[in-house]
Every structure is written in structure tokens, then in C-alpha cells.
Homo-oligomer: A and B are copies of this chain.
Amino acid sequence: MGDELVAFLSRHIEVSEELAATLRRSDLVRSFPRGSFLLREGEVARKAFFILRGCVRSYVLKDGDDRTVDFFIEEDAVLPLGYGTSVPSEHFLECLEDTVAVVSSPDQEERMLAEYPELKEVCLSMSEFMAARLQASLARFRTSSPQERYVDLARRRPDLLQRIPQYKIASFLGVKPESLSRIRRRLSGLS
């Protein structure tokens, strides 16, 4: 599975034979079957993830209600709340599909970057990309209605609408499933 990481990195930097061999030997890349959890409420988040393939949903249980916080797919980094601290997580990270991800801890990351400084650039551009993507998500969420969020999601990530169950999409948009059905009917009436 290290191969998928080498393939990904090769799209961004020149990967030396030595680095490629190290990555292929390492246990950095792991696979998680659909339905498994990367993290559960109450656990300490010792690991961060970078998704090479698949889809992960973060959610919280609140007053018995399952509330989707975000979806992560290929080339998204998942930095759990409290990552690197000993504060127990309030979140669940659930694999909605069979998922392959780079798994790392702060120690491991430091060791790898010290040994292969060329990785810093990839990590940096990925983190900046994530930070920008998150500022965009936050902006979108703070300034739009559920219908606008749906239209926006359908435009930017049509694949997610196919890949993810409707009630999880509804909770991502911050509405009840009935409201999502109404939004869809309204929009299909328009088109």
C-alpha cells in the first residue's frame, strides 16, 4: 500500500528511490474497511490521517442526535480535534467507504521530516490547502441557507451526493432529512 503514497507524492515532488523504498516498507499507509472507526468519542486522538482513497465522516452525538461535522475524501487531511493532546475526543471518525490513509503521530511525523526534508514541502502545501479549504467551508456555512449549501455542494462535489447516504448529507447541511427532500423537490421543479 506504500505504493499509493509513492504515487501521490510523485505527483508533487521528485521521490528518490531510497524514500520510495522506505515508504513501501513502512506501516505509514493503512487500510480501513467500510464501517470501521478511525476514532471514537472518548478516545484520545493520537493519530492524524491523510486520505489516499475512500471517504471518512466526522460526527458528534449530541442529545441522541447524530450530527455530521465534515466529510473527508482523497487528498484531505483529517486532524482530529485535540490531536497531539490528551483531551478525549468528542468526535467519531467513521469510514463511509473502504479507506486507505497515511496514518501518523506527531513523533512519527517529526522523525520522517527530519530524515526526508523534501517531504516538508508536500506537507506544507497540503496543510495550506487544507487551511484554505476549511476557511472556505466555514465561510460558506456561516453565510448561506441550507438550500444554498446544497446547491454549492452539488456544484463542487457532485460525487459526494452519490457516495453518501441522504440523511448524512442532510445533517451535513444542518437540516432534517425531510427538509433535504423538500429542497431537492424545489430545485428539480426549477430545472
Contacts and interface: CB of A to CB of B under 8 A. Distances in A.
Interface of A: 58, 60, 62, 67-70, 77, 79-81, 83, 91, 113, 117, 120-121, 123-124, 127-128, 130-132, 134-139, 141-143, 172, 174
Contacts of A142: 67-70, 141, 172, 174
Give the residue among A68, A113, A121, A143 with the most B Cβ atoms within 10 A.
Answer: A143
Given A120-B120, A124-B123, A127-B124, A69 B134 contact: no
28 contacts: A58-B139, A67-B143, A68-B142, A69-B143, A70-B142, A77-B131, A79-B131, A80-B135, A81-B132, A81-B135, A81-B136, A81-B139, A113-B124, A117-B120, A120-B121, A120-B124, A123-B124, A124-B127, A127-B130, A127-B131, A131-B131, A134-B135, A134-B138, A137-B138, A141-B141, A141-B142, A142-B172, A142-B174
Contacts of A174: 142
Contact of A83 (B60, B68, B70, B132): B132
Contact of A143 (B62, B127, B132): B62
Given A77-B131, A117-B117, A60 B124 contact: no
Number of copies: 2
Contacts of A68: 142
Given A70-B139, A134-B135, 15 more contacts: A60-B139, A67-B143, A70-B135, A70-B138, A77-B131, A79-B135, A81-B136, A120-B124, A127-B128, A127-B130, A131-B131, A137-B138, A138-B141, A142-B172, A142-B174
Contacts of A117: 117, 120
Contact of A79 (B58, B81, B120, B132): B132
A164 B36 CA distance: 43
A129 to B, nearest CB: 9
